[in-house]
Amino acid sequence: MIQVENLTKCYGQHTAINQLTFTVGKGEILGFLGPNGAGKSTTMNIITGYTSATSGSVKVDGLDILKEPRTVKAKIGYLPEFPPLYGEMTVKEYLGFVGDIKSVSKAEKDECFEKIVDLVKISDVWDRLIKNLSKGYKQRIGLAQALIGNPQILILDEPTVGLDPKQIIEIRNLIKELSKEHTIILSSHILTEVSAVCERVIIINKGKIVAGDTPENLGKSLSASSKLALRVAGPKDQVINILSKLTGVKELLAQGVKEPNTIDILITAEGDIDLRRPIFSTLSQANYPILMMRSLDLTLEDIFLHVTTEEEPIEEVS
């Protein structure tokens, strides 16, 4: 759906982004991450046609943004970090104004407004002045304006900034719902939100891509080994004896007793071996139930810090 090839943007002697190349598939939710000044906003501005690149190209649905700007822009809905709202307008007036700018006909406007209002849940503030609305409603209205014209692509820059936990969950669920009909690029500093909704992430630093994959695969590739935390209902010595005989087990470490008649164990696998199925099968045959099993691969926050700082490699979590 989106093809970015060798994208470079220079401001005088400063290179904001340097030879960026990536693709975004149809219906995908891509997390686009990086520290402040890394080039995220510059990249998004070029993709949306707001600014031009020094070199390289951006194609949307096979169309070059520079050669066919009007057609490409009609395929993109953009929610910047600070939504372009007019406080003296009512919600109805503002969205009508946006529809006019996007050259949406009255018939199309009436049809899409009904759908959008229901989707982002703003019917109860339809006739209210925007300046009197909460931050959560303003974000929803910003998202509504991005949806006018039914664009195939949504680019969302910090869509949950300043929201309370309940509002964040609502926006997160809305983004997941929108992905059924739209391709989405999501930029956010709230990495737990990115982990919750994005299928793949790209991390840029100093204008270059430094990592790109699913959060799970990035965690595994940056860890020297995979670790699992287990809680097993059974005697310590017998459970450890059984698990130590599994092929691929590098290290076993008892973590103590957190519940009566159980043992917590930390298991380190050799290389990229996945021990989950062998562990389940072996312990079930021994009639020792697994009460808890969770991966201790690097979190997205660990990965982000690892690839965007010039420090020694971070320790594996335990």
For residue 251, which amino acid is it?
E
CATH class of domain segment(s) 2-220: alpha beta
Tell me where in the chain the CATH 3.30.70.1340 domain(s) lie. Answer: 224-295
Condensed to tens digits (0 to 9), the pLDDT of residues 106-158 reads 888 888 888 898 888 899 999 999 999 988 889 889 999 999 998 999 999 88
pLDDT one-digit tens code per residue, 272-295:
788 999 999 999 999 999 999 987
| CATH 3.40.50.300 domain residues, the chain | 2-220
Longest dimension (CA), the chain: 74
Which pair of tokens denotes residue 80?
């910047």
CB atoms within 10 A of CB 202: 22
Beta strands 227-233; 290-295: pairing state? antiparallel
Structure tokens at 262: 């159980």
**What sign does the dihedral 244-248-249-250 (CA atoms) show?**
positive
Q: What is the pLDDT of residues 200-236, one digit of tens each?
A: 999 999 999 998 888 777 766 666 557 889 999 999 9
Closest CA to 266 of 220, 219, 230, 224: 230
pTM: 0.74
- Return the number of other C-beta atoms located less than 10 Å from residue 123's C-beta: 11
Supply the CATH classification number for the domain 224-295: 3.30.70.1340
